[in-house]
Amino acid sequence: MSSSIRHGYETREMPEFEPATRQHIDDQGVDKLSEAMKAKLKQKRSDGRRGWQNKSECTAEDLSNMLRAHVEKGDPVDVANFCMMLHYRGERIREGKEK
């Protein structure tokens, strides 16, 4: 069984299982995304970014606002990383602040 995924103006068929590994396409997607997330987090750590786990230093509102800003920038890896941070801390996405 396969399913269609629409990318821009092109539709391509995606197999439900990758024949070589028999791994479901959902699991493949999660694995590829997590690899990209880890690489981006490593890069940002080397740039000096840190502190997301400290709730007194970085609030759920701060993370939620950064998440929204990165949605507008268009990089799904950054968005996924902010979602991971909130999820890990057991927090939900907070309402955005008016600017």
Predicted pLDDT of residue 75: 94
Burial of 73 (0-12, 13-18, 19+ CB in 10 A): exposed
Domain coordinates of the chain in residue numbers? 24-88
DSSP state for residue 14 in the 8-state scheme = E
Residues 5-16: tens digit of each pLDDT: 554 556 667 666
Tokens of 40: 């981006």
Using the CB atoms, write b or e for 11-41: b if 16+ within 10 Å. Answer: eeeeeeeeeeeeeeeeeeeeeeeeebbeeeb
Residues 24-67: tens digit of each pLDDT: 999 999 999 999 999 999 999 999 999 999 999 999 999 999 99
CA 76 from chain centre, in angstroms, equals 5
